[in-house]
């Protein structure tokens, strides 16, 4: 099966908008031209049934753009054009004011300096009988001590050390109240001291703070059977691997950025013998922003039980798309699998020889040499923020395996068109990303845009401990 390069891009920042450097009508016309020429979904979206509505929209936007004098107004007009296509992968970026904080967050809060010090924290943790949450925990940039306040019955996380110079030893990082089992309702103080209500989930020597990442217990330290030299580089990052118990492995892949491929690959290679003995796997793709499907390829053989048949894709190869593919390939060739590099080389050669034509990968299949005895069952966690390549993982893992069950909620819905390429504007404060690829399954009336991919087992919204939900589900459904 052909491997794809997909993208689910995050906002970026540009310099301040200067009114006299960017004409809105000029940039609107530029966007219309680039999308109509290069977007793989253009002819699907602009057709006889929708052409009149499309032309009316363009006329109204051009009229409004003639009097738009600031970035915010112009951006909104450009975005109205983008929204016509109902494709999350067709993206527009600009230097807009920062988005408002999460609805659950307090806009600002004063830091809380407690009487705790590093020495007093370690003294408490050394001389008292501790609950599982109490101890010293570490993530990238922060180290905290967690102690139970006997009066308030809340757990208080106190700074031991921090790279952020606004945070000092003894400050309160978060406070948590037991919810159920190993789940805690938490008031979490972000880097700017604003407070967000979230959930802390405890799994032995790790805690997962929803939306804010994972922390490892440093004191008193627990043992893990995985290769420490490799494992130690994983903690707190986008790739994580740990044992939840003697029979359950947890793997998290929070991004399919190509930079994560050598990390995950080295982790799997170093622990290959151990991985083939673990019956239960939980693979966490929540919040995966996409990137390249190359990243997770070496996970797939562990899941394999059956051949997957795929209808393939078409790439709309305009001269600009061909140039963009060449640039991407040159910049990332050392990170790619040889199969992907070969596939992209074919696309580029076709585009050079056949400008403004469709390159059709055709249908294909994916199979491996053998079915491994372990794992026996695989739970994949997916949420509304799992998009693009993360969604491709769902389809692929299910397609090749009877071991895999997807838990959670519908994914983000970025699947139908992909392989984004970057396009600039006359105004250097703006940028857009246009998909070059169209999925062949669209010809059968299948679509995942906006709706996303539903899980096999929905996890109720009120349940914040997804890992606990899976473990309980397994107990009830042996």
Digit-coded pLDDT (tens) for 127-157: 999 999 999 998 878 999 999 998 889 999 9
Q: How confident is the model over 326-343, as pLDDT tens digits?
A: 988 888 888 787 888 888
Percent of all residues in the chain with a pLDDT value above 90, rounded to a whole number:
55
Pairing of strands 195-203, 105-106: antiparallel
362: pLDDT confidence band, cut at 50, 70 and 90?
confident
At how many degrees (to 10) do helices 319-332 and 338-353 cross? 150
The per-residue pLDDT of the chain, averaged, comes to 86
**8 A C-beta contact, residue 155 and residue 132:** no
Q: Does domain 280-318+356-415+452-476 have CATH number 3.40.50.10800?
A: no
Would you say residue 356 has pLDDT above 80?
yes
pTM of the model: 0.71
Q: How confident is the model over 241-296, as pLDDT tens digits?
A: 888 888 999 999 988 888 888 889 988 998 999 999 999 999 999 989 888 889 99
Would you say residue 228 has pLDDT above 80?
no
User: Can you read off the two tokens belonging to residue 267?
Assistant: 């982790």
At how many degrees (to 10) do helices 24-38 and 319-332 cross? 80
Would you say residue 109 has pLDDT above 90?
no
Cα-Cα end-to-end distance for the chain: 33
Cα angle, residue 40 at apex, residues 35 and 45 outer, rounded to 5°:
75
Q: How confident is the model over 383-431, as pLDDT tens digits?
A: 999 988 899 999 999 999 999 999 999 998 888 998 888 899 999 889 9
- Say which residue, 396 or 21, is predicted with more confidence: 396
Given this model, what pLDDT does residue 450 score? 78
| Residue 84, burial from CB neighbour count under 10 angstroms (0-12, 13-18, 19+) | middle
Residues ≥6 apart with Cβ < 8 Å to 148: 131, 133, 134, 154, 155, 156
**Residue 245: in which H helix or E strand, if any?**
strand 239-245
205: pLDDT confidence band, cut at 50, 70 and 90?
confident
198: pLDDT confidence band, cut at 50, 70 and 90?
confident
Given this model, what pLDDT does residue 15 score? 39
Would you say residue 227 has pLDDT above 60?
no
Q: How confident is the model over 451-466, as pLDDT tens digits?
A: 889 999 999 988 888 9
- Summarize the confidence of residues 371-394 as an average pLDDT: 94
- Summarize the confidence of residues 228-249 as an average pLDDT: 70
Given this model, what pLDDT does residue 226 score? 61
47: pLDDT confidence band, cut at 50, 70 and 90?
very high
Given this model, what pLDDT does residue 191 score? 83
User: Can you read off the two tokens belonging to residue 254?
Assistant: 């929070």
Given this model, what pLDDT does residue 4 score? 52
- Tokens 């034509």 locate to 357
């Amino acid at each position: 099966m052909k491997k794809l390069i997909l993208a689910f891009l995050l906002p970026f920042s540009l310099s301040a908008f200067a009114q006299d450097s960017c004409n809105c009508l000029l940039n609107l016309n530029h966007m219309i031209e680039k999308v109509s020429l290069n977007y793989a979904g253009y002819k699907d979206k602009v057709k006889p049934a929708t052409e009149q509505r499309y032309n009316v929209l363009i006329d109204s936007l051009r009229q409004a753009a003639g009097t738009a004098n600031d970035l915010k107004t112009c951006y909104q007009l450009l975005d109205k054009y983008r929204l016509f296509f109902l494709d999350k992968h067709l993206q527009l970026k600009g230097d807009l004011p920062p988005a408002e904080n999460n609805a659950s967050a307090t806009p600002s809060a004063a830091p809380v300096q407690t009487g705790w010090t590093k020495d007093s924290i370690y003294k408490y943790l050394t001389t008292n009988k501790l609950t599982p949450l109490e101890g010293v925990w570490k993530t990238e940039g922060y180290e905290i001590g967690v102690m139970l306040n006997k009066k308030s019955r809340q757990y208080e996380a106190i700074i031991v050390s921090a790279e952020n110079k606004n945070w000092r030893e003894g400050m309160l990082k978060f406070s948590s109240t037991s919810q159920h089992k190993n789940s805690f309702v938490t008031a979490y103080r972000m880097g700017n001291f604003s407070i967000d209500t979230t959930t802390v989930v405890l799994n032995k020597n790790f805690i997962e703070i929803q939306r804010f990442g994972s922390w490892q217990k440093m004191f008193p330290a627990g043992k893990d059977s995985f290769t420490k030299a490799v494992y130690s580089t994983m903690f707190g990052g986008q790739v994580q691997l740990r044992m939840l118990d003697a029979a359950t492995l947890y793997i998290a892949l929070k991004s399919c950025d190509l930079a994560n491929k050598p990390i995950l690959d080295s982790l799997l290679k170093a622990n290959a013998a151990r991985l083939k003995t673990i019956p239960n796997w939980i693979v966490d793709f929540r919040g995966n922003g996409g990137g390249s499907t190359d990243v997770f390829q070496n996970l797939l053989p562990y899941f394999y039980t059956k051949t997957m048949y795929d209808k393939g894709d078409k790439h709309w190869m305009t001269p600009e798309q061909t140039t963009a593919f060449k640039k991407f390939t040159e910049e990332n060739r050392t990170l790619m699998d040889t199969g992907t590099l070969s596939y992209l080389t074919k696309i580029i050669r076709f585009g050079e020889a056949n400008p403004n034509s469709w390159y059709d990968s055709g249908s294909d299949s994916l199979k491996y040499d053998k079915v491994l005895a372990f794992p026996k069952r695989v739970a994949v966690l997916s949420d509304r923020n799992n998009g693009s390549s993360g969604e491709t993982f769902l389809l692929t893992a299910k397609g090749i395996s009877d071991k895999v069950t997807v838990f959670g909620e519908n994914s983000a819905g970025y699947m139908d068109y992909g392989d984004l390429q970057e396009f600039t504007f006359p105004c250097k404060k703006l940028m857009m990303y246009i998909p070059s690829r169209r999925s062949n399954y669209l010809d059968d009336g299948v679509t995942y845009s906006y709706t996303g991919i539903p899980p096999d087992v929905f996890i109720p919204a009120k349940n914040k401990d997804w890992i606990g939900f899976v473990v309980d589900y397994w107990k009830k459904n042996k």
